[in-house]
């Protein structure tokens, strides 16, 4: 019985994903990192494409999911957005300050529509993120 419990504990440890390990490491770094203090502003847009709009090369609908939401820390912001979509990559293949984050398209099987989100993170005075902040975000959200 004891051996089974120990085996179960080992299996649970082994089943943790790399993303969760990276997230924990990022959280520890943010507590010790004075480079990320202050307020951050987040906006998120959405785009819905269905078969008809795709045939016309356009979207069925676009808009703001959130606009200018303020957070006390970068970690708080990322905690809030990480489960809102499957974040996959920066808007540029060589991310630089001013870029935003794209989600993977998610399909609503009942309607056949595909929804994609874009995440914009800025500092209060609309300053772009630093490269260090962008690296931290990439690690935290598991971006490619």
pLDDT tens by residue, 18-51: 444 444 444 434 434 445 556 899 999 999 999 9
Confidence class for position 2, pLDDT limits 50, 70, 90: low
Which of 44-80 are b and which e, b meaning 16 or more Cβ less than 10 Å from the residue's Cβ? bbbbbbeeebeeeeebbeeeeebeeeebeebbebbee
Query: How many domains is the chain built from?
Result: 1
Range of the domain at 14: 2-141
Confidence class for position 54, pLDDT limits 50, 70, 90: very high
Give the model's pLDDT for residue 137.
Answer: 95
Answer yes or no: is pLDDT of 4 > 80: no
Mean pLDDT value of segment 122-142: 89
Answer yes or no: is pLDDT of 10 > 60: no
Mean pLDDT value of segment 89-109: 94
The pTM is what? 0.72
Give the contacts of 12 (CB within 8 A, at least 6 positions apart): none
């Amino acid at each position: 019985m004891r051996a089974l419990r120990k085996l179960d504990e080992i299996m649970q440890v082994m089943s943790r994903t790399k993303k969760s390990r990276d997230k924990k490491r990022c959280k520890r770094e943010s507590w010790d990192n004075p480079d990320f203090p202050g307020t951050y502003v987040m906006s998120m847009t959405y785009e819905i494409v269905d078969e008809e709009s795709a045939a016309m090369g356009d979207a069925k609908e676009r808009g703001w999911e959130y606009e200018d939401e303020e957070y006390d820390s970068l970690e708080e912001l990322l905690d809030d957005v990480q489960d809102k979509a499957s974040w996959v990559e920066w808007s540029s293949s060589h991310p630089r300050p001013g870029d935003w984050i794209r989600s993977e398209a998610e399909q609503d099987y009942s309607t056949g529509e595909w929804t994609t989100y874009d995440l914009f993170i800025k500092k209060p005075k609309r300053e772009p993120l630093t490269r260090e902040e962008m690296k931290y975000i990439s690690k935290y959200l598991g971006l490619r």
